[in-house]
Chains A and B, each alone.
Chain A
Amino acid sequence: MTHQDDTAQALLTHPDEWVDLYGDYLYRYALTRLRDTDVAQDTVQETFLAALKARERFSGRSSEKTWMMGILKHKIIDRLRAKYRERPISELESETEDGVEDIFDRFEHWKEGYSSWETDPAKILENAEFWEVLEKCIKKAPERLSQAFGLRVIDGLSTEETCEILKVSPGNLNVMLYRARLRIRKCLEINWFA
Chain B
Amino acid sequence: MRKLFVLLFLSCKEATRLASDSRQRQLTLIERIRMRFHMRLCLMCRRWEDQMYLIDDLFRQYPEVIESQDSPLYGQLSLDTKERMRQALQEAQLSS
Contact = CB atoms under 8 A, between A and B. Distances in A.
Interface stretch (A1-9, A77-85, A86-94, A124-132): A124-132
B11 A49 contact: no
Given A24-B76, A45-B85, A109-B11, A174 B63 contact: no
A153 B93 contact: no
A154 B65 contact: no
A131 B67 contact: no
Contacts of B25: 159, 170, 174
Contact of A110 (B12, B56, B77): B12
A100 B20 CA distance: 15
A41 interface: yes
Say which size band chain B's interface belongs to.
35 or more
B86 A16 contact: yes
Interface string B11-46: 111101100110111000000000000000000100
B13 A188 contact: no
Contact of B60 (A31, A128, A153): A153
Contacts of B50: 116
- Nearest 9 CB-CB pairs, A to B? A108-B11, A24-B71, A108-B13, A28-B75, A178-B20, A19-B85, A104-B13, A153-B59, A19-B86
30 contacts: A15-B90, A16-B86, A16-B89, A18-B89, A19-B82, A19-B85, A19-B89, A23-B77, A24-B77, A27-B71, A27-B77, A28-B71, A28-B75, A31-B75, A32-B62, A44-B77, A45-B88, A48-B88, A52-B93, A66-B67, A104-B13, A119-B54, A131-B62, A131-B66, A149-B59, A154-B62, A159-B25, A174-B21, A177-B24, A178-B16
Interface of A: 15-16, 18-20, 23-25, 27-29, 31-32, 41, 44-45, 48-49, 52-53, 65-66, 69, 73, 100, 104, 107-110, 113-117, 119, 124-125, 128, 131-132, 134, 138, 149-150, 152-154, 156, 159, 170, 173-174, 177-178, 181-182, 184-185, 188
Interface of B: 11-14, 16-17, 20-21, 23-25, 44, 47-48, 50-52, 54-56, 58-63, 65-67, 69-72, 74-77, 81-82, 84-86, 88-90, 92-93, 96
